[in-house]
Amino acid sequence: MPFVGCEFEIPSAMDRAVAVEELKKLAHPPLLVLDTCQRLEIFGLDVPAIAQPAGSHWRDAEAFERLARIAAGLESRVLGELEVLGQVRTAYKEFIKAGGADNSRLDRIFQDALSLARDARRQSGIDKNLISLGALSARELMARVPATAPVAVVGSGSIAGSVARYLKKRGNFPVRVTSRCPENAMTLAMEVGGFGGGLDNLAPMLDGVAGIVTATAAPHPILYAHHLQAAKRPLVIVDLGVPPDCSADVSTLEDVTYLKLEEIEAKAQFNSDERRQRADVAARIIKDGAIAWSKKR
């Protein structure tokens, strides 16, 4: 049975979170499911029928190379992105939790791909001196929001976690966390000494906040102007969603500073000529590693 990777499009009638859980639950052997702000891709030995392939798909060495490139940050908007390696590790842990360790062949493929990505990062230096997107977003918020004002993080994934931890470590901000999964929101909130809840309680969670960072994988806006009626003014919003987490009416509100992902990226020379050169080195390391891997199979 070949090793495959696919981009997936969730059926329009199905909620993304439900579809992702079904992908994880129905596949035998389990899949590695990468559900991030930028992608929904799966890797494994079989393709379940719950979602339809939408565009790119990879097989054997190409699939192995694709997974390693993602973990090395070569498929990210920010070359060498730090958060994505954590996202792949989290997906791997979910794979193990679902019983993936019982399939030694698939488990070994994932371990080898992650190992190759780490080697490529180390040897190329692609993430050298790179400030994470989460840390940069937190810095931007801290520079604009009063030191003890409450702030909210919408999302509980890798980037949202990076923002919340940075705010806790470097500032004195009461942090609230809200996401589509209340349990994950509360876990992250407890880690940073705040409190959390679900998106169904979004407006009360934003009552009195002076700053908001959104970082979800939602395919549509989740934050609208009516959610912000009780938020403080002036209010700072950093929207890291792809597509944006905020509706168009949010950016036009009076006394609201709205910063899009592109504006945060522009604060640092993420994709400088030097970093592109390092990315080329990392890409060659991964290409050679994928070829060597395929010959050993």
Domains 4-128+275-296 and 133-265 share a fold: no
Domain extents in the chain:
4-128+275-296, 133-265
Can you give the pLDDT at residue 16? 66
Alpha helix positions (H), the chain: 16-26, 61-71, 83-97, 104-124, 133-144, 158-170, 182-191, 202-205, 261-265, 273-296
Task: Specify the pLDDT at position 55.
Answer: 63
Q: What is the dihedral of CA 132, 144, 193, 131, to 10 degrees?
A: 10
CA distance 120 to 130: 15
pLDDT tens track for 202-255 = 999 999 999 999 999 888 899 999 999 999 999 999 999 988 999 999 999 999
Residue-level length of the chain: 297
Cβ contact 212:238 at 8 Å: yes
- 99's CB contacts (< 8 A; 6+ apart) are 29, 30
Residue type, 150: P
Low-confidence stretches of the chain (pLDDT < 70) are 9-17, 19, 26-28, 37-38, 46-55, 268-271
pLDDT, residue 97, reads 87
pLDDT, one tens digit per residue, over 56-72 is 789 999 999 999 999 99
Rounded to 5 degrees, what angle do the CA atoms 27, 28, 31 make?
Answer: 55
Q: Does domain 4-128+275-296 have CATH number 3.30.460.30?
A: yes
State the amino acid at position 73 in one-letter form.
G
Question: Which residues lie below 8 Å from residue 205, measured CB to CB, with a gap of 6+?
Answer: 152, 176, 178, 197
Q: Rounded to whole angstroms, how far apart are CA atoms 38 and 123?
A: 26
pLDDT of residue 51: 47
At the fourth CATH level, which superfamily is domain 133-265?
A: NAD(P)-binding Rossmann-like Domain (3.40.50.720)
Give the other-Cβ count within 10 Å of 279's Cβ.
Answer: 20
Q: Could you give the percent of the chain with pLDDT greater than 90?
A: 56
Among 270, 39, 7, CA closest to 137: 270
